[in-house]
Structure 1
């Protein structure tokens, strides 16, 4: 759990994903399209990925990926959450508040 919290604070936007997950790819693309440059942690390519996946589940992520942290806070426990933030217009503001984007 400490590893997740440490990694989640390393940049303004942090995404925990799996390289083979098409939904994760879509979430990353959305963030890039908005101008953010997130730190990406591919759990299937990390030696401690399995432990990190369980820690994300303990935080309420089910499935464990994609999980999105903005400003060190877990804002999306699933793709549905991040899409909801985009649809209601609050995702861009969260990115601005965290200084992940400037526009």
Structure 2
């Protein structure tokens, strides 16, 4: 769990994904379209990916993928991120965390 928490704080925006997950791809694309360059960890390609997935579940990430952190804080999964994008708060969170500049 320490590794996941540490990685979540490494950059302003962090996304834990699986390479085969279509929603993960959509969320990554959304962040890139907004001008953010998130740290992306594809856990099915990480040596300790199963342990990290378990740690995400213990942190309350449900569903586990994608798990989005902005400014070191867990934002949620695809549904939560898309909701925040629709109400305009995602952009504000990214600006506040200095993941994008305007």
Query: What is the TM-score with the length of structure 2 in the denominator?
Result: 0.97
Q: CA RMSD in A?
A: 0.6
Match of residue 84 from structure 1: 83
1:97 aligns with 2:96: yes
Alignment of 1:55-74 (within 5 A): 55-74=55-74
In the TM superposition, residue 53 of structure 1 has moved relative to its aligned partner by 0.5
In the TM superposition, residue 24 of structure 1 has moved relative to its aligned partner by 0.1
In the TM superposition, residue 60 of structure 1 has moved relative to its aligned partner by 1.3
- In structure 2, the gaps of 5 or more residues are none
In the TM superposition, residue 63 of structure 1 has moved relative to its aligned partner by 2.0
Q: Aligned residue pairs: how many?
A: 102
In the TM superposition, residue 47 of structure 1 has moved relative to its aligned partner by 0.8
- In structure 1, the gaps of 5 or more residues are none
In the TM superposition, residue 59 of structure 1 has moved relative to its aligned partner by 1.3
